[in-house]
């Protein structure tokens, strides 16, 4: 990393299995590493999808008892230290605990003939969520629906006692099944357990090293706070939502990384992010294409991003953890509230705001009630007028 910002060595860079398979020379992984065309257990290796500091991820074909494509992750030769094996085992155990349609599943595991551990995951042929949304020119509502499914997957992980700690677009893939777009959360390589140890072997974080991706880290991750909890994932979800809405990150990546560790920490820990509407406006010439990829114009998108669509990501990204959404489920609920026009959890507590939302959601009922009220008032007025006239006539006759 640049200028003193150190990020923990990742287990791989492409667990997400992108659409275009990456071919990496086998020689780069050292002697004894099978290449495409080789075999690990019942799995025929087709191509290399990616690599990290200590593992290789292959696209492989399972030949029995069912025939299917999978992603196979195996430790590199010479990298099988106790710490690496512990981290590798923790990731495999994490995936084994999770069973949700929006999380890539683990199918199998074992060891190569040389004794190096591997495990086999669901192969997701998809794009990072931001790329998918832009290529398909999805509307704000469609993006929110996809994002809500990501929140549901993360909520499942949290309920199992797992904090992802590296939520970002490349770890949230979208693939299609027929006409349906389905999100899949991948890469639990640096996940943290909150309930039980993920492996019998000791797993530790090296002091002074940041765990995660800088642009998506919450303040407590930057400060290496020991009691990291699920609200760190809420912060990262807020950054992801911000990016889906505006086409940019809340803090400029180049500024974050080029200013050195102290500047990076100051920005994340102390500086409040600009509102999404301001951020989009500040992008000048870039704003037009961003709006087009959301099926609208700049002026309309800026107007859409004001108020409610700003409140949601900014609440998720609050510096004080206690002021964020309490859970990924609550964040998902607020997305649902926005989509149906209900008052937001992130919104003000004022009676006027909540009454206004109630009226807008029930316009037909309010309109009908208003018509009935007007008719009743008119009828009462007419009755009073006739009664007064009749009284006056009687008085004049008398």
Identify whether the C-beta of residue 146 lies closer than 8 Å to the C-beta of residue 130. Answer: no
Helices (DSSP H) in the chain: which residue ranges? 82-97, 129-135, 140-159, 219-222, 231-246, 253-258, 260-270, 276-282, 287-292, 298-305, 308-316, 328-340, 351-361, 363-397
Which residue out of 134, 166, 187, 334 is catalytically annotated? 166
Q: Who's near 212: CB < 8 A, 6+ residues apart?
A: 7, 8, 165, 166, 190, 221, 236
The answer to whether residues 156 and 98 touch, using CB atoms and an 8 Å cutoff, is: yes
Distance, CA of 54 to CA of 47 (rounded, Å): 18
Identify whether 65 is preceded by a cis peptide bond (ω within 30 of 0).
yes
Tokens of 351: 């009676």
Q: Which two tokens stand for residue 278?
A: 């301001």
Which residue bears the tokens 């086998």?
A: 26
**Helices 140-159/328-340 angle, 10° precision:** 160
Here the tokens at position 378 are: 């008119």
CA distances from 47 to 7, 23, 269, 381 (A): 27, 6, 42, 83
Which of 214, 242, 237 lies closest to 150, judged by CA? 237
166 among known catalytic residues: yes
Instruction: Give the sign of the dihedral formed by CA 107, CA 110, CA 111, CA 116.
Output: positive
Q: What is the dihedral of CA 133, 134, 136, 142, to 10 degrees?
A: 40
DSSP state at residue 12: -
234 to 153, 167, 325: CA distances (angstroms): 12, 9, 7
Radius of gyration of the chain (CA): 28
Residues in the chain: 398
Catalytic residue positions, numbered:
166
């Amino acid at each position: 990393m640049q200028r003193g910002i150190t990020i923990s060595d990742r287990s791989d860079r492409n667990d997400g299995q992108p659409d275009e398979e990456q071919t990496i020379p086998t020689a780069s992984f050292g002697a004894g590493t099978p290449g495409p065309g080789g075999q690990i257990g019942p799995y025929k290796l087709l191509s290399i999808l990616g690599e990290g500091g200590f593992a290789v991820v292959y696209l492989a074909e399972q030949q029995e008892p069912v025939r299917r494509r999978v992603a196979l992750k195996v430790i590199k030769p010479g990298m099988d230290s106790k710490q690496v094996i512990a981290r590798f085992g923790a990731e495999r155990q994490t995936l084994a605990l999770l069973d949700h349609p929006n999380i890539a599943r683990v199918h199998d595991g074992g060891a190569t003939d040389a004794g190096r551990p591997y495990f086999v995951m669901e192969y997701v042929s998809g794009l990072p969520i931001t790329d998918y949304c832009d290529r398909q020119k999805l509307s704000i509502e469609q993006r929110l629906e996809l994002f809500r499914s990501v929140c549901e997957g993360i909520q499942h992980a949290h309920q199992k006692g797992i904090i992802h700690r590296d939520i970002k677009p490349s770890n949230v893939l979208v693939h299609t099944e027929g006409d349906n777009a389905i999100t899949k959360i991948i890469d639990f390589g640096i996940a943290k357990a909150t309930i039980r140890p993920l492996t019998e072997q000791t797993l530790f974080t090296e002091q002074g090293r940041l765990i995660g991706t800088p642009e998506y880290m919450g303040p407590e991750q930057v400060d290496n706070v020991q009691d990291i909890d699920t609200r760190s994932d809420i912060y990262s979800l807020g950054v992801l939502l911000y990016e889906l809405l505006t086409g940019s990150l809340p803090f400029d990546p180049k500024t974050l990384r080029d200013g050195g560790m102290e500047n990076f920490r100051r920005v994340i820990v102390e500086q409040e992010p600009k509102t999404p509407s301001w951020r989009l406006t500040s992008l000048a010439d870039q704003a037009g294409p961003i709006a087009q990829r959301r099926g609208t114009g700049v002026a309309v998108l800026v107007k859409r991003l004001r108020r409610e669509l700003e409140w949601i990501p900014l609440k998720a990204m609050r510096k004080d953890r206690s002021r964020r959404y309490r859970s990924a489920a609550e964040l998902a609920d607020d997305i649902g509230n926005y989509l149906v026009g209900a008052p937001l959890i992130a919104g003000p507590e004022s009676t006027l705001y909540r009454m206004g939302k109630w009226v807008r959601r029930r316009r037909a009922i309010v309109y009908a009630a208003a018509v009935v009220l007007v008719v009743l008032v008119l009828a009462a007025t007419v009755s009073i007028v006739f009664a007064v006239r009749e009284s006056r006539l009687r008085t004049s006759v008398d």
